Amino acid sequence: MRVRFAPSPTGALHIGGARAALYNWLLAQGPEHATFVLRIEDTDPERSTKENVEQILDALRWLGLNWDEGPIFQTNNTARHQEALAQLLASGHAYHSTAGKAEVDAYKAEHGASAGFRGTPEASGAVRLRVPDKPATSFDDAVRGEISTPNASMDDPVIARGDGSVLYNFAVAVDDLDAQITHVVRGEDHISNTPKQLLVFEALGAPQPRYAHLPLLHGPDGKKLSKRHGAASVQELRDAGYLPEAVINYIALLGAGFAPDEELFSAAELAARFKLESVSKSPAVFDEKKLRNFNGQYLRALSSEELTRRLEAFTGHPNLAPAVEISREKIQTLRDFWPLAGFIYDGAGHDPKAFDKWIAKDPARLASARETLAELPEWNLTTIEAALTALVEGSGAKPGQVYQPIRVALSGTTVSPGIFETLNVLGREESLKRMDQALDRAG
């Protein structure tokens, strides 16, 4: 089994493209041990810049989707495309024609609107493939079943322009043939290209690959997945702080047809279970909320050392271990970390509403907490917790009335990791200093 992912490098790798890459990769990792070929379809010189190619490779690497062969660059296959074109012209499977839209329209006016255009060979002009005089071009799609197009309704497709450069569907078929691809797994948007590509295989006398067209991805509102739904590309998911293993797990499930009660899988488990024949025909829903939830579970399953390493890489900030330890239960993504715990390093922020409500209105609450803490003979989690719990009980206040003023003094806002843990990590001196600053500000 040989499979391929063949992106056109137009910018970021979209989630739909990532899923196509992943399904190919799963076939390579799974019981079939397919060989995974990466082909970059870089024939559009304006969009296929070095940066755009690098972005695709980078996204695949980040996801851990390694390929076995390639990247093959489609533009390097030009000589081979010309050779195949010459072969078809020589064998009579293709012919030169100057016919353009006007001639095609005239043909249809004469033969009926649904009649496929048939040209008359000329000495020069574009090249058209002769659609064979057979009832239909059919294939058994691994996902969608039998798909059949009557040959009589297909125009003889243009496979090369007047200047000799070949068209997309021709190049794809020749490249798939040369790479000996046995299974083409790609997005449903390519379904209408398949009959033309099959005709190229047929004309070259080559065996046709099996096709599997993956259903589209929709947002939770049932509309085609786009930026409106949040992150739409792998790069955006990375920037949003998702872990590659959570992304892989989540997008693998989109339409894979696994039992709904099975959810968290390692890549190896996904590969062991994945079957093209089980892929669902209907659109799958990409719901970022669900991915967030997956991500939180993956994140909590990491060791503290590993999570710290990833957060240090993500934030570019060293020595995060103590803050990570006290934040790990409260974050769902790597990006959630800094807004929650960054104040430990950056100093307290200032949310005027929180300050007015919890400190300015009644500074005595914070002052008495400060005094209690200042008297601690030892500063550790146990002594801090015991002292503040006693203060809550002794004062008859609600816990929030004691803890929120401290939290606002330390962080500037009403969100932080656990208050005892935060005090402990900040240390006595820094904690008291921040409380003093807040009391000064309250006047």
Contact footprint for ligand GLU (CB under 6 A): 6-8, 41, 172, 186, 190
From the CB of 50, what's the least distance to ligand GLU, in Å?
A: 17
Alpha-carbon span 8 to 33, nearest angstrom: 25
CA distance 377 to 397: 24
Task: Give me the least distance between CB of 193 and ligand GLU, in Å please.
Answer: 7
Sign of the alpha-carbon torsion through 13, 15, 20, 26 = positive
Tokens of 27: 């076939």
- Tokens of residue 96, six digits: 């030169």
CB of 233 to ligand GLU, least distance (A): 13
Quick one: 7 or 219, whose CB is closer to ligand GLU? 7
**In the bound complex, what is the minimum distance in angstroms from residue 9's beta carbon to ligand GLU?**
8
Closest CA to 198 of 134, 259, 277, 280: 134
For the beta carbon of residue 167, count every other beta carbon within 10 angstroms: 18
3-state helix, strand, coil in the chain (%, to 5): 55, 15, 35
Q: For ligand GLU, give the closer residue by CB, 107 or 168.
A: 168
Least Å distance between CB 8 and ligand GLU? 4
Among the listed residues 74, 73, 57, the one whose alpha carbon sits nearest the alpha carbon of residue 17: 57
Nearer to ligand GLU, 58 or 263 (CB): 58
CB of 77 to ligand GLU, least distance (A): 14
Residues 269 and 261: their CA atoms lie apart, in Å, by 15
Of residues 147 and 387, the one with the C-beta less far from ligand GLU = 147
* Nearer of residues 41 and 288 to ligand GLU, judged by Cβ: 41
Nearer to ligand GLU, 189 or 362 (CB): 189
Q: Closer to ligand GLU at the Cβ: 6 or 432?
A: 6
Which long-range contacts (C-beta less than 8 Å, at least 24 apart) are formed by 390-395? 395/368
Contacts of 58 (CB under 8 A, 6+ apart): none
Which of 40, 409 has the CB closer to ligand GLU? 40
Helix (H, G, I), strand (E, B) or coil at 329: coil
Amino acid (1-letter code) at residue 347: G
* Min CB(170)–ligand GLU separation in Å: 12
Residue 360 DSSP class:
I
Signed CA dihedral, 180, 186, 190, 192: sign only: positive
In the bound complex, what is the minimum distance in angstroms from residue 278's beta carbon to ligand GLU? 21
Which residue in the block uniquely carries the two structure tokens 């243009």? 158
For the chain, the C-alpha Rg in angstroms (whole number) is: 31
- d(C-alpha 207, C-alpha 194), whole Å: 14
Closer to ligand GLU at the Cβ: 99 or 142? 142
**Strand segments (E) across 68-129:** 69-73, 94-97, 126-129
CB of 74 to ligand GLU, least distance (A): 8
Nearer to ligand GLU, 172 or 248 (CB): 172
Q: Do residues 149 and 156 touch, judged by C-beta distance below 8 A?
A: no
State the nearest-atom distance from the C-beta of 257 to ligand GLU, in Å: 21
